[in-house]
Amino acid sequence: MIFKNIDIKLFLTTTITLITLFGIAIGSLPKLRMNRATISLVGATFLILTGAITLEDAYTSIDLDTISLLLGMMIINVNLGISGFFQFISSKIIHYSKTPIDLLLLIIFSSGALSAIFLNDTICLMLTPLIIEITTQLNRNPVPYLIALATSANIGSVATIIGNPQNMIIGMSSNISFIHFTKALIIPSLLSLFILFLIIVTIYRGEFSKSKFVQNPEFKFRIYKPLFNKSIFSGIIFIIMIITGYQLPLAALTSASILLITRRLKPQRVFIEIDWSLLVFFASLFVITGSIERNALTQKLFHLIEPMTRGNSHLFVFFSAMLSNLVSNVPAVMLVKPFIIQFVNPEKTWLLLAMSTTFAGNLTLIGSVANLIVAESAKHYGIKLNFGEYLKVGLLITIISIVIGTYYLEFIY
């Protein structure tokens, strides 16, 4: 341990933690070429150096279940992308879209459903270029459809443990079963998707006033059939394993392993597309929150949220939503999770945390990684999705969806 004076150590721990969380919140540090992954890794390393957490404790604080689940899902998603699965879904959206209303409905509900199964960030990454191509060929304003994609991906992802990274952490920490989790949150998710549709149609009345498209666009794509069929098969195995009670990480890695047994696809083709920086980000965050738990910072944070441990669900939801927009949803969940055991009903509190931190991601354009993926991808095509334009939809759907989710979990479920 480098620093023996407890006050100095506490000061350094607090400073490093705050700088790291600040960098994670805005995605960079001034005048430095660092992203969330590098900021969290450097922060975690410095916390170990200052003695805030030992190297051995740092290793044990990393939740390998969550890391394994995330890695398995990434391998599955990469194979689906290579096989042409997401292009196939886009072709079906085009085929059944006869009016702008049809197109919006199909984008919202297909994005929501896919995000519940294949991670919201992946869906936004895969579908943004396809939706831009569709709307360009139809001579439509792409902005409302892109906003619909981002917000519906966030909303749909709340319905399952594998829908987004923060749900994975909650699922692994709470031991709530996949089916029970989905039964609790699928209704708020579906209701919020419908409300989202009404909000976008109301705000962009002009875009949805025409009754029919003049012509359907041509959408050329290629299905890599052997991999497509194999991906569907591995997906079925994944679902069967979940239903029959296998642990989620094992189910995901089994499905991923089936896809990695191949004579055609080079391993590099898959591994080069895996978001390794996200895995580094997660592992580092586990170390950072582990150091917080082991120091006086834990008590300070506990005193901050202590009123919510007395059963005030509404205050807890508000706190979680605000924290998610301050430090991002994954760090917010990691900061709050050590205290869930203090609540009168921990299971309901875990569900409220999943709901509030996910729906809060729709508040602003920088509220979730999924939103940023859509905005940055659109920028490459010369389409500007700005903060104010997004906020018109984001503010309304966030407030309404959180109210729906809180009421449902508190009084109906």
Q: Does the pLDDT of residue 300 top 80, yes or no?
A: no
Tell me which residue of 355, 324, 325, 339 sits closest to 161, measured CA to CA.
Answer: 355
Residue where the block lists tokens 């979990």: 409
CA distance 17 to 11: 10
pLDDT surpasses 60 at 323? yes
Tell me the pLDDT band of 95, cut-offs 50, 70 and 90. confident
How sure is the predictor about 310, in pLDDT bands with cuts at 50, 70 and 90? low
Q: From residue 227, how far is each of 79, 83, 262, 356, 364 by CA, in Å?
A: 7, 5, 9, 37, 37
Q: Which residue has the higher pLDDT, 1 or 124?
A: 124
Backbone phi, then psi, for 53, in 5-degree steps?
A: -150, 140
pTM of the predicted model, to two decimals? 0.87
Integer Cα distance of 222 and 105 in angstroms: 25
pLDDT confidence tier of residue 304, bands split at 50, 70 and 90: low
- Taking 60 as the threshold, does the pLDDT of residue 5 lie above it? no
Is-contact 215 149, C-beta < 8 A? no
Instruction: Inform me whether the pLDDT recorded for 60 exceeds 90.
Output: yes
Q: What percent of the chain clears pLDDT 70, i.e. is strictly above it?
A: 92
Residue 263: its pLDDT value, please? 85
For the residues 75-95, what does the mean pLDDT come to? 90
Residue 88 exposed, middle or buried by CB count within 10 Å (0-12, 13-18, 19+): middle
The pLDDT of residue 325 is 86
At 218-246, the pLDDT tens digits run 667 789 999 999 999 999 999 999 888 89
Distance between CA atoms of residues 213 and 319, nearest Å: 45
pLDDT of residue 133: 87
